[in-house]
């Protein structure tokens, strides 16, 4: 299929673009470079062994997005484009709602107008909110996500569900409205890098997330890791999360895309996780093993909004998509370290 990958120059989007190409799909990337560097694409093309068309576009511009679809001849869309820093979203809610919701509305409008009905959405486990029982299952009711970023994911899932429902109920045979088939992929904690070590996670500024912060400590860019709380009700007192290798995540997108023709519900959510919880201290130990020496850390105060533990029930994706996360925590750390040690300051500036 000819697939438009929005945000395809970003961390998960770039790894998924590669997996799509390796699975025989044609990939076109749309990216505004708001959260990724222009030097990612040539590395992607070097791994793929082929050029990959990329449109530098702000998807909140509905007219430009429509023109992209008018010329694009796309069979499907995988939609990653969006701002994704939880903490930043609390400081800049308007920017997050404007960017994440408007860009999605532009894309869905253009899909409807140009008859493209296959859609895979980059959602998040954050839609379950802070009070959901663990492991998370897709049939849980939505709870209030604790931050504007998470709320945009809840709202976008709602937008997509309502759009598909309207088309199914439509009495007028609006000739361009497609038969929607939408997969909502709820990620847990994406980490790791392509085994080549030439592409990986490269957050701009001080990393919010554990793995990139830890790898920057290991490469000497940060003095030490602060572990946000060791008094949680968990075996070692530090928070547990379901870390999933980005290569497994990319494979999950290919599986979901390939399954859309067999998906009976117009919209269906899938957890992409391992089903296992790993604590902060366990991840620090695994990363130290990958690096070959202990890494400096201190315990600090709990971080607002953190919950003690969450992990996925991945049964639905396992059984319906025939997808299973296979990479171990050790492989996640080894692959992250191979990328970070070869690229201490991330991707070069353009």
- Known catalytic residues? 149
Angle at 342 between CA 339 and CA 347, to 5 degrees: 75
Q: What is the closest distance, in whole angstroms, from the C-beta atom of residue 48 to ligand WQD in the complex?
A: 25
H/E element holding 241? strand 240-241
Region binding ligand WQD by CB under 6 A among candidate stretches 52-60, 69-77, 225-233, 249-257: 225-233
For ligand WQD, which stretch binds (CB under 6 A), given 93-101, 170-178, 219-227, 262-270?
Answer: 219-227
Q: Which residues contact 262 (CB under 8 A, 6 or more apart)?
A: none
Q: Site for ligand WQD (CB under 6 A): how many residues?
A: 19
Tokens in use for 236? 């070692």
Which of 28, 227, 257, 272 lies at the binding interface for ligand WQD (CB under 6 A)? 227
Nearest distance from C-beta of residue 136 to ligand WQD, angstroms: 12
Q: Output the six-digit token pair for 198.
A: 């030439």
For CA atoms 41, 258, 59, 114, give the dihedral sign.
positive
Which CB sits closer to ligand WQD, 14 or 65?
14
Please, is 45 exposed, middle or buried when counting C-beta atoms within 10 Å of its C-beta (0-12, 13-18, 19+)?
A: middle
> Helices then strands (H, E): number in the chain?
11, 13
- Contact flag: residue 270 with ligand WQD (CB under 6 A): no
Q: Which residue, 28 or 333, has its beta carbon nearer to ligand WQD?
A: 333
Encoded one letter per residue, x for contact with ligand WQD by CB under 6 A and - for no contact, window 240-269 reads -x----------------------------
End-to-end CA distance of the chain: 31
Of residues 170-199, which lie at the interface with ligand WQD (CB under 6 A)?
Answer: 187, 189
Q: What are the residues binding ligand WQD (CB under 6 A)?
A: 84, 86, 124, 126, 187, 189, 208-210, 213, 225-228, 239, 241, 280, 303, 306
């Amino acid at each position: 299929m000819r697939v438009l990958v929005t945000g395809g120059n970003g961390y998960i989007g770039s790894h998924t673009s590669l997996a799509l190409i390796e699975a025989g799909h044609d990939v076109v990337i749309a990216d505004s470079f708001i959260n990724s560097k222009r030097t990612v694409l040539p590395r992607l093309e070097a791994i793929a062994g082929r050029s990959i068309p990329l449109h530098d576009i702000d998807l909140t511009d509905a007219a430009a997005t429509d023109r992209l679809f008018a010329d694009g001849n796309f069979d499907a869309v995988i939609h990653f484009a969006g701002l994704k820093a939880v903490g930043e979203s609390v400081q800049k809610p308007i920017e997050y709602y404007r960017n994440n919701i408007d860009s999605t509305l532009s894309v869905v409008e253009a899909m409807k107008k140009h008859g493209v009905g296959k859609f895979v959405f980059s959602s998040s486990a954050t839609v379950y909110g802070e009070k959901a029982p663990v492991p998370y299952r897709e049939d849980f009711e939505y709870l209030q996500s604790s931050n504007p970023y998470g709320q945009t994911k809840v709202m976008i899932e709602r937008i997509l569900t309502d759009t598909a429902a309207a088309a199914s109920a439509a009495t007028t045979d609006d000739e361009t409205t497609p038969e929607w088939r939408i997969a909502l992929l709820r990620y847990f904690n994406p980490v790791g890098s392509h085994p080549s070590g030439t592409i990986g996670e490269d957050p701009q500024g001080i990393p919010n997330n554990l793995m990139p912060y830890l790898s920057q400590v290991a490469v000497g860019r940060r003095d030490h890791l602060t572990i946000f709380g060791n008094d949680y009700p968990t075996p070692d007192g530090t928070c547990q999360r379901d870390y999933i290798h980005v290569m497994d995540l990319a494979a999950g997108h290919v599986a979901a895309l390939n399954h859309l023709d067999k998906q009976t519900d117009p919209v269906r959510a899938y957890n992409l996780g391992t089903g296992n919880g790993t604590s902060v201290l366990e991840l620090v130990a695994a990363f130290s093993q990958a690096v070959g020496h202990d890494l400096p850390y201190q315990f600090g105060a709990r971080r607002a909004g953190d919950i003690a533990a969450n992990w996925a029930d991945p049964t639905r994706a396992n059984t319906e998509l025939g997808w299973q996360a296979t990479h171990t925590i050790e492989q996640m750390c080894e692959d992250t370290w191979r990328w970070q040690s070869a690229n201490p300051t991330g991707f070069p500036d353009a």
